[in-house]
Structure 1
Amino acid sequence: MTPDLDWLTYHPNPSKPVYIPPPGAVDAHCHVFGPGGVFPYAPERRYTPVDAGKDALFALRDFLGFERSVIVQATCHGADNSAMVDALRAAGGRARGVATIRPDVSDAELADMDDAGVRGVRFNFVKRLVDPEPDAYYRELVDRVAPLGWHVVIYFEAADLAERWDLFTSLPVPVVVDHLGRPDVTKPVDGAEFGLFLRFMAENPNVWSKVSCPERLSRQGPPHYADVRPFARAVVERHPDRVLWGTDWPHPNMKSHMPDDGHLVDVIPHIAPAEELRRALLVGNPARLYWEGQS
Structure 2
Amino acid sequence: MSFEKTPGWFDWYAHPSKPLFRLPPGAVDAHCHVFGPGEVFPYAPERKYTPCDAGKEQLFALRDHLGFARNVIVQATCHGADNRALVDALCAAEGRARGVATVRRGVSDAELRELHAAGVRGVRFNFVKRLVDFTPRDELQEIARRIAPLGWHVVVYFEAADLPELWDFFTALPTIVVVDHMGRPDVSKPVDGPEFALFLKLLREHGNVWSKVTCPERLSVTGPRALDGERDAYRDVAPFARRLVEEFPDRVLWGTDWPHPNLKDHMPDDGLLVDFIPRIAPTPELQRKLLVDNPMRLYWS
For the aligned pair, the TM-score class normalised by the smaller chain equals over 0.9
Cα distance in 2, alignment partners of residues 269 and 17 from structure 1 = 11
The one-letter amino acid paired with 2:32 is C
The one-letter amino acid paired with 2:214 is S
Cα distance in 2, alignment partners of residues 247 and 261 from structure 1 = 7
Cα distance in 2, alignment partners of residues 81 and 75 from structure 1 = 10
Count of residues in Structure 1 that have an aligned counterpart in Structure 2: 292
The one-letter amino acid paired with 1:219 is V
Query: 3-state SS of the aligned residue for 2:174?
Result: coil
Query: 3-state SS of the aligned residue for 1:161?
Result: helix
2:45 to 24, 39, 43: 43
Query: 3-state SS of the aligned residue for 1:5?
Result: coil
2:243 to 224, 234, 246: 234
* 1:265 and 2:274 correspond: yes
Question: Which segments of 5 or more consecutive residues in structure 1 lack a partner in the other structure?
Answer: none
User: 1:169-196: CA deviations, max 9, x gaps?
Assistant: 1111100000000000001111000000
* 1:288 and 2:297 correspond: yes
Q: Is the 8 A contact 1:126 1:132 kept in 2?
A: no
Structural mapping, 1:1-295, within 5 Å: 1-223=3-225, 224-292=233-301
Cα distance in 2, alignment partners of residues 85 and 7 from structure 1 = 26
The one-letter amino acid paired with 1:36 is G
User: Shift of residue 107 of structure 1?
Assistant: 1.1
User: Shift of residue 165 of structure 1?
Assistant: 0.6
RMSD over equivalenced CA pairs, Å: 0.6
The one-letter amino acid paired with 2:259 is P
Q: Is the 8 A contact 1:215 1:259 kept in 2?
A: yes
The one-letter amino acid paired with 1:142 is A
Q: What TM-score do you get using the length of structure 2 for normalisation?
A: 0.96
The one-letter amino acid paired with 1:266 is D
The one-letter amino acid paired with 1:217 is L
Q: Is the 8 A contact 1:35 1:52 kept in 2?
A: yes
Cα distance in 2, alignment partners of residues 134 and 34 from structure 1 = 28
User: Shift of residue 255 of structure 1?
Assistant: 1.2
Cα distance in 1, alignment partners of residues 136 and 60 from structure 2 = 37
Identity %: 70
Query: 3-state SS of the aligned residue for 2:125?
Result: strand
128-137 vs 30-39, which moves further = 128-137
User: 1:92-141: CA deviations, max 9, x gaps?
Assistant: 00000000000011111111000000000000000010122232121111
The one-letter amino acid paired with 1:265 is V
Query: 3-state SS of the aligned residue for 2:287?
Result: helix
Structure 1 stretches of 4+ with a deviation exceeding 3 A read none
Query: 3-state SS of the aligned residue for 1:111?
Result: helix
The one-letter amino acid paired with 1:198 is L
Query: 3-state SS of the aligned residue for 2:156?
Result: strand
User: 1:9-59: CA deviations, max 9, x gaps?
Assistant: 000101000001000000000000000000000000000111000000000
Q: What TM-score do you get using the length of structure 1 for normalisation?
A: 0.98
